[in-house]
Structure 1
């Protein structure tokens, strides 16, 4: 794993590569763990806080993503002004405050406030850690470091529900937030002691409202960028919808009990495999063809699940549901990476702010979509299948809108 001199972007002292990857993965995985580890706790939370309407438990996920949407647009420019370490430390500090609020919450409102603060703080390590990697590495070295980091992070959503369930066996739902605080403290102490600042004061950009407004206007005026950002938001909304109702689908509809984390991991595993496959073929066939293929399969499989669900009064046989759902979730591995890369392509001169705006706007779109579709959930899989079908359909329409050329979008299927 040794790097050539040409691959390293800076000559300043930095951590050994393996330790650096583990540190970045620990900081960035806080987001996935904070999202997925609480899923098995929904029933306990509803009972403890007196939540009668189960649909309101969906807000536990939405509130965190809502806070993150505003945090992302804040910490992107902030990390260029005060440096990477301070941004990450500030974000983790805010996350810990939110976790304490959530841990001691005695009402749903208190819990949602804590989750919103958590989300805002999580944007710090999420955004600034990527910038930290960009500071130290470039070219194939940066791609390799990101790849190794993501390999670790991808495992977190697969294992987080099982981890959350284990924590609750030892204690109760509040312990989950205690463990999150512990992980955050380890991350910030490790960062403070071992990782030097990668953006020296001489290279920092003073905050300028005029420049920020100019770049934001440019971003919003780019038809392709906005279309791809909305596609990312719609698909992310599908994922949020699933996360919000997954515990109920498996435990209330299919009586999975303690097997919920296993089935959750099976669905996530498909995305891991297609993510790896996408990395192997994307340079040969192109991002557009990979994206169109994935969206087409997602549309077909989700529509199939919708038709089957309707014929079974919203509760298809478990084996049918799992078989089709694995195919649906496998598409995510070829959608997120490609659509985000396509959105970033025209934004080279404003990559930092561009990445923040893509993340922030797509998160807001996802919240609106998932909350709207979640209101139709009444212990059937119909809203899930309908949401995926609707999102995939809109995404394909937006691709055509982005290019104003149907043949270009579907070029791989006209040959």
Structure 2
């Protein structure tokens, strides 16, 4: 593959990967406005975020095996088309309940883009070429959450919250055109799996019987839960409690995501010197300490907004190191079923995140509620690592294997 072709592929796959974070995060600055528009509660609005995560979780379980059976292009185009329709219907949603249901449908559509993009990378590359391309895509995965709230805040200068969903629909149309004309089929018929529903169920069952795999998947999910607790609660905390406007919130949220991006990219360098399980242990320990510090700051008010933001950013950086390594260690155990294992991993990550988002709303809209779930996610991930996974079992996995398996 020439340099020009590889660059084109990176742009196409990067666009597909970006739609997920944009769909999740772009409307975050509008949370308070949605509460006022529908005359509802913050918890109800946070459930619309949960709906997206539930759709992503279910969609990955369905689309992962489907794309292994029928190829990549058909599920991708169908999924993005579903996302477009759901986005347009969100614009005319008559109440918060309908908006929540439509967000589930949006998540189902987004799952197709996420699963297929990673499957295409596995189809075309292996070894160091795989790792190099994946590191570029991880940068996109980190940059999209940075841009999403900032873009959303910018749109809210000119339109209301419904305009955010119009923008998502337009982006979906662009993606369909990109997929139709810029992405060839990468899974030939002879490599497709046709085990049907029974075969897929058996494969999922074998994965769930692997204690270490399940433990690592839970670690990744709990780290994701800490991240989504921040995502779902930050707009209410920073705008409602600390008085930031929509644009200031977008900048503060973006600054935190910069730490997440930097950590994911720094992880590639760390893997050249340290074992992946050691990076995972240290990052989760650091994230737990930072999470507990965040909880103390939120409860006492000591240090004000700067101390709160710094603690949050340390947690995000720690999550940025943990989230690539835990999935990579898990996937390195099941290379023969990487597509299905990846789908199960993604489903658990977004499923646990879906629980964390409304939990913040149930506990309240203040900094203490958000900090409690953030800290709880990091501490629970650390406990699962030591009690269920036991890091000594992972000592034999080489950094190159993790670079290849990183999802």
Task: Give the TM-score, by structure 2 length.
Answer: 0.92
1:54 pairs with one of 39, 42, 66? 42
Does the 8 A contact of 2:72 with 2:120 survive in 1? yes
Aligned pairs, number? 394
2:254 pairs with one of 265, 276, 300? 265
Structure 2 residue 31 is matched with structure 1 residue 42? yes
Deviation of 1:394 (Å): 1.8
* Alignment-derived partner of residue 387 in structure 1: 373
1 CA distance for matches of 2:113 and 2:155? 24
In the superposition, relative to structure 1, how do residues 172 and 310 fare at CA in structure 2: closer, same or farther (>3 Å)?
A: closer
2 CA distance for matches of 1:358 and 1:185? 28
Larger radius of gyration: 1
Structure 2 residue 330 is matched with structure 1 residue 356? no
Does the 8 A contact of 2:49 with 2:357 survive in 1? no
In the superposition, relative to structure 1, how do residues 299 and 94 fare at CA in structure 2: closer, same or farther (>3 Å)?
A: same
In the superposition, relative to structure 1, how do residues 345 and 200 fare at CA in structure 2: closer, same or farther (>3 Å)?
A: closer
Deviation of 1:311 (Å): 2.3
* Alignment-derived partner of residue 171 in structure 1: 159
**Cα root mean square deviation, aligned:** 2.0
* Alignment-derived partner of residue 124 in structure 2: 136
2 CA distance for matches of 1:405 and 1:65? 29
Deviation of 1:331 (Å): 0.7
In the superposition, relative to structure 1, how do residues 43 and 370 fare at CA in structure 2: closer, same or farther (>3 Å)?
A: closer
1 CA distance for matches of 2:389 and 2:220? 16
Does the 8 A contact of 2:58 with 2:108 survive in 1? yes
Instruction: Provide the secondary structure at the position in 2 that maps to 1:283.
Output: coil
Structure 2 alignment gaps of length 5 or more: 396-407
1:286 pairs with one of 250, 272, 275? 275
Structure 2 residue 81 is matched with structure 1 residue 109? no
Structure 1 alignment gaps of length 5 or more: 4-14, 410-415
1 CA distance for matches of 2:242 and 2:307? 12
2 CA distance for matches of 1:299 and 1:166? 34
In the superposition, relative to structure 1, how do residues 408 and 129 fare at CA in structure 2: closer, same or farther (>3 Å)?
A: closer
Give the structure, 1 or 2, with the largest relative contact order (CA under 8 Å, sep 6 or more).
2
* Alignment-derived partner of residue 205 in structure 1: 193
341-350 or 193-202: which moved more?
193-202
In the superposition, relative to structure 1, how do residues 405 and 47 fare at CA in structure 2: closer, same or farther (>3 Å)?
A: closer
2 CA distance for matches of 1:46 and 1:348? 45
Deviation of 1:172 (Å): 1.5
Q: Map residues 9-408 of structure 1 onto 2, 5 A cutoff.
A: 16-51=5-40, 53-257=41-245, 258-312=247-301, 317-379=304-366, 381-404=367-390
2 CA distance for matches of 1:403 and 1:41? 40
In the superposition, relative to structure 1, how do residues 271 and 246 fare at CA in structure 2: closer, same or farther (>3 Å)?
A: same
Deviation of 1:403 (Å): 4.1
Deviations 1:328-355 (A, max 9, x none): 2111110100011111121122111111
2 CA distance for matches of 1:194 and 1:378? 44
Deviation of 1:85 (Å): 0.8
Task: Give the TM-score, by structure 1 length.
Answer: 0.90
